[in-house]
């Protein structure tokens, strides 16, 4: 389904990485992507890579196992946004953590539809 892929891309892909230093990056992008209402999403990871590279995890550029989980062979640049205490909708404040790691996604019809975790 397109909607699942679209939701995945909106929630987890930011390429090229939006401008702004890490202090404001998460606050801005979480709001812009609609992840701060009705509640501040606690935790969210953005992948800074072209959509095609991320989709490839489901199409041979990853090791798949279980029902539909695939682990990327390549490492990706990631920013994880974690909400800070005292945040409330309309004023969600996040802490950013930047790393380069392999990831696990859930695939449906060879498309990524869910970000499972950082490996």
Residue 12 has pLDDT above 60, yes or no: yes
What is the total count of domains within the chain? 1
For residue 46, what are the domain limits? 2-118
Rounded to two decimals, the pTM is 0.94
At 1 the pLDDT is: 46
Candidates 97, 114, 116, 118; catalytic one: 114
Confidence bin at 2 (pLDDT 50/70/90): low
Residue pLDDT, tens place only, 23-41: 799 999 999 999 999 999 9
Is 65 tagged catalytic?
Answer: no
CB contact at 8 A, 100 and 46: no
Q: Exactly one of 8, 9, 11, 12 is catalytic; which is it? A: 12
CATH number at residue 101: 3.10.130.10
Is residue 114 part of the annotated active site? The answer reads yes
Q: Could you tell me which residues come within 8 angstroms of residue 47 by beta carbon, excluding any fewer than 6 positions away?
A: 12, 13, 14, 15, 54, 76, 77, 78, 103, 115
* pLDDT mean across residues, the chain: 94
Structural contact between residues 50 and 74, judged by C-beta atoms closer than 8 angstroms: no
Work out whether strand 76-83 and strand 43-47 pair parallel, antiparallel, or are unpaired.
antiparallel
| Per-residue pLDDT tens digits for 63-72 | 999 889 999 9
């Amino acid at each position: 389904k397109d909607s699942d892929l679209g939701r995945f891309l909106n929630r987890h892909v930011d390429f090229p990485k939006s401008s702004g230093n890490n202090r404001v990056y998460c606050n801005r992008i979480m709001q812009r992507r609609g992840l701060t209402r009705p509640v501040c999403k606690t935790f969210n990871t953005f992948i800074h890579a072209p959509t095609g590279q991320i989709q490839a995890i489901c199409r041979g550029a990853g090791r798949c196992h279980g029902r539909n989980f695939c682990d990327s062979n390549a490492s990706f640049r990631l920013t994880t946004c974690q909400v800070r205490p005292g945040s409330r909708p309309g004023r969600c404040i996040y802490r950013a953590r930047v790393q380069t790691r392999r990831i696990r996604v859930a695939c449906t019809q060879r498309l990524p539809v869910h970000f499972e975790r950082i490996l």
